[in-house]
Amino acid sequence: MQTVNIAGMTVPQTAALAPMAGVADTAYRQLCREMGAVMCVSEMISAKGLCYQSKGSAELCRITEQERPMGLQLFGSEPEFLARAAELLMPYKPDWIDLNMGCPVHKVVQTGAGSALMRTPELAAECVQAVVQHCDVPVTVKMRIGFDAEHINAVSFAKCMESAGAAALTVHGRTKSMLYSGKADWEIIRQVREAVQIPVIGNGDVSGAESCRAMYAQTGVALVAIGRASYGNPWVFREIACAAEGLPYTPPTPQERMETMLRHIRMILEYSDKPPALAIREARKQTSWYMAGSRNAAAFRSACFSLSSYEEAETLAGEYLKANEIGGLPVAEIGGAARPPIPPSAGE
C-alpha cells in the first residue's frame, strides 16, 4: 500500500478521520482507527479554556494509545493564550498540534478565532509561530477555502501558514458562509496543493471509496480526511482501505452494525466522565446513525432517542434484528414509544 508522510508520521495513503466536536470523541475515534482511519484529531479545545483550567477542556485532551497517531486541536485567536495552551498540551503527548482556522460557529468566530482567522492572515501566522515556538511537536492548520464567496483566499492563506511554520494543512473545500451546505470546491483544494510544499489533506464531501479516489485524482492531495460520512459508519475507512489494496469490500451485515453500535455505547460509557444516565443520553445521537439507509431506519432512529440504559439498547437491537428477519413488524413500536429525534448538536 502506498504511504505518505504527514507532519513526521508515515501512514497509508487512504483516509484520516476529520475532527468533529460533539461527535468524534474517544470512543468514536477508537472505532474509526480500528476500521482503518489512518490518523485522527481531537475535538477542538479552547486555548483560553485550557489556560483557565476548565475541566471540560482538559478532558478533551485525553489520548489513548489505540488512537495514535493523533493530534490535539486548539482554537483561539490570541497568540499568548495559544502558546501557553500548547505548553499545557505537551504532557498529553500529542503526535502533533492542529490549529482550528475553519470553525464557522458564531460563538467562536465572534472572538476572532476559527474561520475568522482567514480574514486576518497576519494574526493567523502569529498564532502558528507562537505555537511552533512553544511546543516540541509539528504544528498543522485546518482551514476552509475562505470566509465567503467574495473572499476566497485559500491559496495566499495557505502560503502564509506554510511560511509561519505549519507542517501540513487540512483544507475543507467550503467557505465559512457555506457552513456545511453546497458542494465542497475540490478545485481550490487542488490549487492550494500546487501552491505549497507541505502536505495538504483534502476534506469535504468524501463519502466512500469512489469519492475518495476521485478526490485524490482531482486534487493530488497527500491524504483525504472524512467527517460526516463516518456517522454510524466507521466501515467507510475499511471500504477505502480495501479499494486501495484492490480487495473486495463486504459491507457490514445488520448484525454487525448492531454489534458495533452496542460496542460503541459500551465504549462511550467506559470513557465518559459523566454519570451513565447522562452518557447514555449523549450516546443516543451516535446510536441512531447506525441503521441509516437500512429498512425501518426512521423507526429505529426514533426509538434510539428514548434510550435510557445500555440494557434498553440491547433490547432495541434484538427487536430490530428480529423484526427485520421476519419481514418487518410495525417497527415504530420497537423500544417503546418513539419520541421525535433531538437534533444533533451543531458545531465545528
Residues that bind ligand FMN (CB under 6 A): 18-23, 43-44, 73, 100, 102, 142, 172, 203-206, 226-229, 347-348
Name the minimum Å distance from CB 332 to ligand FMN.
27
Beta carbon nearer to ligand FMN, 21 or 222: 21
Which residue number is nearest to ligand FMN in terms of Cβ? 227
Q: Which residue has the cell 498540551?
A: 89
Beta carbon nearer to ligand FMN, 73 or 296: 73
Name the minimum Å distance from CB 233 to ligand FMN.
12
Give the length of the chain. 348
Beta carbon nearer to ligand FMN, 102 or 121: 102
Name the minimum Å distance from CB 76 to ligand FMN.
13
Name the minimum Å distance from CB 29 to ligand FMN.
12
Beta carbon nearer to ligand FMN, 46 or 296: 46
Beta carbon nearer to ligand FMN, 182 or 347: 347
Active-site position among 32, 40, 51, 103? 103
Name the minimum Å distance from CB 195 to ligand FMN.
20
Pairing relationship of beta strands 9-12 and 3-6 according to DSSP bridges: antiparallel
Active-site annotation holds for 103? yes
Which residues are catalytic, by number? 103
